[in-house]
């Protein structure tokens, strides 16, 4: 009863792979966006902020449909990617990475942005007077100080990506072994008679992953915060 | 060694238009808060870009708005000790100290890590984190961090302002050592007369964004015209002195000044040490003849050179004693009773305890030329 079937294992493994890549690939962009939103003073800052947060507010199916229009094989970006790099996203696990990364991005950016806003720019000024240029200042002062936020943001994004359903199923469908992540597998299982046990097992896995991610995010945040705390 | 600064800048309803030069030793930028002191040092450090201005250190132009030159802060090699220390909280004291050194080219480096740690007395703190240090310890580490980046000029923005009296007393000797021992020019921002009296080689007085006066502290402090800026109660004289002997029984130290000898509360330094002693105008009593049967231990012969405006009930009398100026603040009635006028010989009487520990600082240069006769 508690044993996962091979199909269910495949879904769990795929979910972890998709969420892992989504988190890893969006992290540099997430840090850059958070810095830009927290520190930047430029025209269109409000627009960028809105764009980043849009997937949080929009129905996921709308985001997925827009991805399909843009990144589908006949979409403007999708056809370009296929012709120049031979990369196909639609109905592939790589497309699931893109969809879940976009859905998780607002959570990641919010967590990192809060951390950036808590860093005293005066410390960065001090690093400048000691001879560090902006890149070194970022690497030695800013990045270590925002690390708790970066880790918390990454863990939250990973958990969110693990559970992403609407945009993923719209963009890349529900293909076992290719695009069938845990939520899509649960959805498929409850459509068929006798699938309840499997759905229940995957639900338990989902809850465990989400809870572990939240606890880990809290714990890491506390640990790093204590290490750099002003005491 | 010279630093030339000229800056024009406006923000909000405030405008600053100030120019000054500084040489070796400690140049104090003195003024009330809002006089523009921090703006000036931030422009020197490159943290603030003024609308118009020119900053040069040792002939190298760091800022010239007309020629479009603005060297970024990290290339200026100017050390900055901030009022709040600004130590990096995620690094240990050792890592904080080493931070700037890492970015300094080998040929620019001076002073070793060990010597700097020794100079500032922070050897026991190296493995601690800034958060666990006291205010005074933090400031000493901040000074060490700035020094170890081997700057050609050190800026200090009210480094003692956030500390209590005991912590201030703990740090002042270290700043004296920097000034006298390293030959590193220092720009020191302060609104405290006791601090500049003790530390400054040159004082630049700022008021409302303009340079009001500049010169050696002894001359400025004895100038009654500047009392409104320096604060009436703080005005007085700054004497170059040398320790002659200690009296351990009564815990007193005898000093030689140009006008005679003074007993002050015991100074912790060997005979021969050169000092500067601040004597406030309100602590000086004037007498026609050397007083008898008086508890005050000190009496310096002096000549009246100038008498302040008589429209006030309190009058400042400027004296010369030996080679130094002194000030005495007395009532208009005393002035009349003693019939004081310029040229008159008097005796300046001073209680030993009127000279506090914080009024006495070490100084190897203030007294230059004063003690050749002995």
- Indicate the residue among B230, B262, B280 that finishes a domain: B230
C-beta of residue B241 within 8 angstroms of C-beta of residue B271 = no
C-alpha span between B130 and A230 (Å, rounded):
7
Supply the DSSP symbol for A140.
I
Task: For helices A45-57 and A60-71, give the axis angle rounded to 10 degrees.
Answer: 110
Question: Is B368 among the domain residues?
Answer: no
Q: Which residue in chain A is spatially nearest to B43 when comparing CA positions?
A: A129
Q: Which residue in chain B is spatially nearest to A132 when comparing CA positions?
A: B74
Question: Is B114 among the domain residues?
Answer: yes
Residue B200 and residue B135 share a domain:
yes
Q: Quick one: CA dihedral A139, A141, A145, A149, positive or negative?
A: negative
Number of folded domains that form chain B: 2
Which of B72, B130, B145 is facing A130, going by the closest CB pair?
B145
Question: Is B295 among the domain residues?
Answer: yes
Helix ranges restricted to H, chain B: 37-45, 93-102, 113-120, 135-148, 165-181, 193-199, 217-221, 227-230, 332-338
Residue B296 and residue B248 share a domain:
yes
Averaged pLDDT, B339-360: 88
Q: Does the pLDDT of residue B371 top 90, yes or no?
A: no
Residue B171 and residue B56 share a domain:
yes
Q: Which residue in chain B is spatially nearest to A121 when comparing CA positions?
A: B86
Question: Is B124 among the domain residues?
Answer: yes
Q: Give the length of chain B.
A: 374
Which of A141, A229, A231 is facing B88, going by the closest CB pair?
A141
pLDDT-based confidence at B168, cuts 50/70/90? confident
Residue A213 Cα, gap to closest chain B Cα (Å)? 25
Q: Shortest CA distance to A100 belongs to which of A23, A213, A152, A31? A: A23
Residue B222 and residue B153 share a domain:
yes
Residue B108 and residue B143 share a domain:
yes
- Indicate the residue among B230, B248, B276 that finishes a domain: B230
Q: What is the dihedral of CA A113, A119, A121, A122, to 10 degrees?
A: 170
Taking only the tens place, the pLDDT of each residue in B31-74 is 888 888 999 999 999 999 999 999 999 889 999 999 999 999 99
pLDDT-based confidence at A204, cuts 50/70/90? very high
Flag if A230 and B103 touch (Cβ within 8 Å): no
pLDDT, residue A132, reads 93
C-beta of residue B304 within 8 angstroms of C-beta of residue B341 = yes
Residues facing B348 on adjacent strands: B286, B300
As separate numbers, helices (DSSP H) first and strands (DSSP E) second, chain B gives 9, 21
A74 touches chain B (CB under 8 A): no
pLDDT, residue B353, reads 84
B1 burial (CB, 10 Å; 0-12 / 13-18 / 19+) is middle
Residue B287 and residue B141 share a domain:
no
Residue B92 and residue B12 share a domain:
yes
Residues facing B275 on adjacent strands: B241, B362
C-alpha span between B278 and B331 (Å, rounded):
22
Task: For helices A182-189 and A6-39, give the axis angle rounded to 10 degrees.
Answer: 130
Q: Is B228 helix (H, G, I), strand (E, B) or coil?
A: helix
B225 phi-psi bin (left φ>0, alpha ψ -120 to 50, beta other)? alpha
pLDDT, residue B372, reads 37
Flag if A129 and B131 touch (Cβ within 8 Å): no
Residue B193 and residue B263 share a domain:
no
Taking only the tens place, the pLDDT of each residue in A178-198 is 889 999 999 999 998 888 889
Taking only the tens place, the pLDDT of each residue in B80-127 is 999 988 999 999 999 999 998 888 888 888 878 888 898 888 999 999
Taking only the tens place, the pLDDT of each residue in A115-127 is 999 999 999 999 9
Taking only the tens place, the pLDDT of each residue in A23-82 is 999 999 999 999 999 998 888 889 999 999 999 999 999 999 999 999 988 888 988 888
pLDDT, residue A227, reads 66
Question: Is B25 among the domain residues?
Answer: yes
> Taking all residues of chain B, what is their mean pLDDT, rounded to a whole number?
87
Question: Is B107 among the domain residues?
Answer: yes
Kindly list the structural domains of chain A, giving each domain's residue range(s) and its CATH number in brackets, ordered by start. 9-225 (1.10.3720.10)
Residue B97 and residue B219 share a domain:
yes
Task: Supply the CATH number for residue B258's domain.
Answer: 2.40.50.100
Kindly report the number of other CB atoms within 10 A of residue A207's CB atom: 10
C-beta of residue A219 within 8 angstroms of C-beta of residue A29 = no
Q: Shortest CA distance to B207 belongs to which of B33, B50, B13? A: B33
Taking only the tens place, the pLDDT of each residue in B141-153 is 999 999 999 899 9
B45 touches chain A (CB under 8 A): yes
C-alpha span between B79 and A6 (Å, rounded):
65
pLDDT-based confidence at B366, cuts 50/70/90? low
Residue B88 and residue B166 share a domain:
yes
**Residue B41 half-sphere exposure, CB side, CA atoms within 13 Å?**
28
C-alpha span between A125 and B45 (Å, rounded):
10
pLDDT-based confidence at A6, cuts 50/70/90? confident
Which of A131, A144, A228 is facing B104, going by the closest CB pair?
A131
Averaged pLDDT, A85-104: 90
> Taking all residues of chain A, what is their mean pLDDT, rounded to a whole number?
89
- Tell me how many residue pairs between chain A and chain B have CB atoms under 8 A apart: 70
Helix ranges restricted to H, A119-195: 121-129, 134-137, 143-163, 166-172, 182-189
A228 touches chain B (CB under 8 A): yes
Question: Is B367 among the domain residues?
Answer: no
C-alpha span between B138 and B111 (Å, rounded):
20
B337 touches chain A (CB under 8 A): no
C-alpha span between A116 and A110 (Å, rounded):
10
Residues of A in contact with B84 (CB under 8 A): 122
Question: Is B369 among the domain residues?
Answer: no
Flag if A230 and B89 touch (Cβ within 8 Å): yes
B307 burial (CB, 10 Å; 0-12 / 13-18 / 19+) is middle
Taking only the tens place, the pLDDT of each residue in A120-148 is 999 999 999 999 999 999 999 999 999 98
Q: What is the ipTM of this complex?
A: 0.80
Residue B193 and residue B295 share a domain:
no
Domain hosting B209: range is 3-230
Residues of B in contact with A120 (CB under 8 A): 86
pLDDT, residue B188, reads 94
Which of B80, B84, B102 is facing A129, going by the closest CB pair?
B80
- Indicate the residue among B230, B258, B279 that finishes a domain: B230
Task: For helices B135-148 and B113-120, give the axis angle rounded to 10 degrees.
Answer: 150
Residue B166 and residue B258 share a domain:
no
pLDDT, residue B249, reads 92
């Amino acid at each position: 009863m508690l044993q996962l079937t091979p199909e269910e294992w495949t879904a769990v493994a795929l979910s972890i792979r998709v969420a892992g890549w989504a988190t890893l690939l969006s992290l540099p962009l997430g840090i850059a966006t958070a810095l830009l939103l927290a520190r930047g003073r430029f025209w269109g800052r409000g627009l960028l902020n809105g764009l980043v947060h849009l997937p949080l507010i929009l129905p996921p199916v709308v985001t997925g449909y827009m991805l399909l229009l843009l990144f589908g094989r006949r979409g403007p970006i999708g056809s370009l990617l296929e012709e120049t790099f031979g990369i196909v996203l639609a109905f592939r696990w790589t497309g699931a990475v893109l969809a879940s990364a976009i859905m998780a991005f607002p959570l990641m950016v919010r967590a990192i942005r809060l951390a950036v806003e808590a860093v005293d720019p005066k410390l960065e000024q001090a690093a400048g007077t000691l001879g560090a240029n902006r890149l070194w200042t970022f690497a030695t002062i800013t990045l270590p100080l925002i690390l708790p936020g970066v880790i918390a943001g990454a863990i939250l994004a990973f958990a969110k990506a693990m559970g992403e359903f609407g945009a993923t199923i719209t963009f890349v469908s529900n293909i076992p072994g290719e695009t069938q992540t845990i939520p899509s597998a649960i959805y498929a299982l409850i459509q068929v008679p006798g699938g309840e046990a499997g759905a229940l097992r995957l639900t338990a896995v989902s809850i465990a992953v989400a809870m572990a991610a939240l606890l880990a995010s809290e714990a890491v945040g506390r640990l790093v915060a204590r290490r750099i705390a002003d005491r | 060694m010279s630093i030339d600064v000229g800056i024009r800048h406006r923000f909000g309803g405030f405008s600053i238009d100030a120019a000054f030069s500084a040489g070796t030793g400690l140049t104090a930028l003195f003024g009330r808060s809002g006089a523009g002191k921090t703006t000036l040092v931030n422009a020197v450090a490159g943290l603030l870009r003024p609308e118009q201005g020119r900053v040069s250190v040792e002939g190298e132009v760091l800022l010239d708005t007309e020629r479009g030159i603005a060297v970024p802060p990290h290339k200026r090699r100017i050390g900055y000790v901030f009022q709040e220390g600004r130590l990096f909280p995620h690094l240990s004291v050792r890592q904080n100290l080493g931070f700037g050194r890492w970015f300094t080219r080998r040929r620019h480096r001076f002073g070793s890590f060990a010597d700097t740690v020794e100079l500032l007395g922070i050897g026991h703190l190296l493995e601690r984190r800034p958060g666990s240090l006291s205010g005074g310890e933090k400031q000493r580490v901040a000074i060490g961090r700035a020094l170890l980046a081997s700057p050609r000029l050190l800026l200090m923005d009210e480094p003692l302002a956030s500390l209590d009296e005991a912590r201030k007393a703990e740090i002042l000797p270290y700043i004296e050592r920097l000034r006298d021992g390293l030959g590193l020019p220092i720009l020191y921002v302060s609104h405290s007369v006791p601090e500049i009296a003790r530390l400054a080689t040159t004082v630049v007085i700022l008021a409302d964004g303009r340079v009001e006066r500049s010169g050696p502290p002894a001359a400025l402090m004895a100038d009654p015209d500047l009392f409104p800026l320096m604060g009436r109660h703080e005005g007085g004289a700054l004497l170059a002195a040398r320790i002659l002997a200690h009296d351990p029984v009564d815990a007193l130290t005898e000093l030689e000044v140009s006008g005679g000898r003074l007993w002050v509360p015991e100074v912790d330094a060997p005979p021969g040490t050169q000092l500067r002693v601040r004597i406030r105008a309100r602590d000086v009593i004037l007498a026609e003849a050397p007083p008898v049967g008086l508890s005050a231990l000190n009496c310096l012969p002096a000549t009246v050179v100038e008498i302040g405006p008589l429209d006030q009930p309190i009058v400042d009398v400027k004296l010369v004693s030996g080679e130094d100026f002194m000030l005495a603040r007395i009532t208009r009635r005393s002035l009349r009773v003693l019939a004081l006028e310029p040229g008159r010989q008097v005796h300046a009487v001073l209680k030993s305890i009127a000279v506090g520990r914080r009024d006495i600082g070490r100084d190897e240069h203030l007294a230059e030329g004063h003690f050749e006769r002995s």
